[in-house]
């Protein structure tokens, strides 16, 4: 029985690889004549990427500050911009990798820094949100998302296998992941939107829409509840706004977000946890 199960898993894995290669072919066909952002433009827009990161960080902090006081719960709405913009920053960074080896030192360093930040952030995440922290922090979702978007970008057998394993992990740990499988797939969908025509924005917008549909918000949206509509439309608009911003010429100086950004996430969580303790916030 165990041998039969192993054979079935191998067959499913082979089918998955064939399907992924077919997806690669379809993507290449769709995007071959729609190179939305040229290499030169991407290199000139480093300030735009930094601006996207700053907006993501500010809206993330606003979203998390609402846990300090019930009167700040309205900040949940602008907070829906944060994760899609972080995912877009990841997609833009991957998009700029026009050459080189998938198993490169730069990619290993990128993955290691992100994974380390995810591990370090879990304790302050639990301290900051208490009973509200029903999933892992957001960085494990981005770690798996990075592996998937690399699979879409590099189109090698090695990257494809790892991408499938990452997506499978997301499926198996769906309830433990912040934003679940949809969040893991978001960076890859944003990469396709960067490479494709305008209509490909529908994919990341739809993922963001359904990522925020929990806690009865989808029912509220269908019932024309204003708050639910505002939350879900804000999330859906985030990738559209982000990609529009990425394509603009940023004329003013933007402070660079370098490796200190990996410390910002656990750092701000620790500060929120400390404020909660000082103020005696019930979490």
> Other CB atoms closer than 10 Å to residue 198's CB: what's the count?
11
Q: Tens digit of pLDDT for each residue in 236-269? A: 999 999 999 988 887 888 888 888 989 999 999 9
Per-residue pLDDT, 123: 93
CB 22 within 8 A of CB 48: no
Per-residue pLDDT, 276: 80
Q: How confident is the model at residue 140 (pLDDT cuts 50, 70, 90)?
A: very high
**Does residue 275 carry a pLDDT above 90?**
no
> What percent of the chain stands above pLDDT 90?
53
Given CA atoms 173, 141, 19, 243 in this order, what sign does their dihedral have?
A: positive
CB 194 within 8 A of CB 37: yes
Query: Quick one: 248 exposed, middle or buried, by C-beta within 10 A (0-12, 13-18, 19+)?
Result: exposed
Q: Tens digit of pLDDT for each residue in 181-236? A: 999 999 999 999 998 877 889 999 999 999 998 888 899 999 998 999 999 999 99
- Rounded to the nearest 10 degrees, the angle between the axes of helix 82-95 and helix 139-154 is 30
CB 195 within 8 A of CB 36: yes
Distances (CA, A) of 92 to 86, 162, 195: 10, 20, 10
Compute the distance between CA of residue 68 and CA of residue 149 in angstroms, rounded to an integer.
35
Token code pair at residue 113: 């820094």
């Amino acid at each position: 029985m165990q041998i039969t199960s192993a054979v079935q898993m191998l067959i499913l894995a082979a089918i998955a690889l064939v399907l992924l290669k077919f997806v690669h072919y379809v993507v290449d066909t769709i995007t071959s004549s729609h190179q939305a952002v040229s290499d030169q433009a991407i290199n000139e827009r480093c300030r735009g990427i930094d601006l996207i990161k700053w907006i993501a960080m500010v809206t993330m902090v606003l979203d998390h500050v609402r846990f300090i006081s019930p009167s700040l719960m309205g900040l949940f709405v602008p907070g829906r911009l944060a994760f899609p913009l972080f995912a877009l920053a990841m997609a833009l960074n991957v998009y700029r990798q026009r050459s080189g080896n998938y198993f490169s030192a730069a990619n290993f360093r990128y993955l290691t820094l992100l994974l380390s930040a995810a591990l370090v952030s879990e304790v302050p995440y639990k301290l900051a949100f208490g009973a509200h922290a029903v999933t892992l922090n957001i960085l494990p979702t981005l770690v798996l998302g990075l592996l998937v978007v690399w699979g879409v970008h590099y189109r090698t057998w090695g990257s494809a296998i790892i991408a499938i394993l990452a997506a499978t992990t997301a499926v198996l740990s769906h309830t433990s992941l912040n934003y679940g499988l949809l969040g893991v797939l978001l960076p890859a969908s944003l990469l396709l939107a960067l490479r494709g025509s305008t209509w490909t924005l529908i994919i990341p917008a739809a993922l963001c829409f359904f990522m925020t549909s929990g806690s009865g918000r989808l029912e509220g949206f269908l019932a024309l509840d204003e708050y639910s509509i505002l939350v879900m439309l804000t999330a859906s608009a985030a990738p559209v706004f982000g990609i529009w911003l990425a394509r603009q010429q940023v004329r003013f100086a933007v402070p660079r977000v370098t490796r200190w950004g990996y410390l910002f996430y656990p750092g701000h969580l620790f500060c929120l946890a400390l404020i909660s303790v000082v103020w005696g916030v019930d979490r």
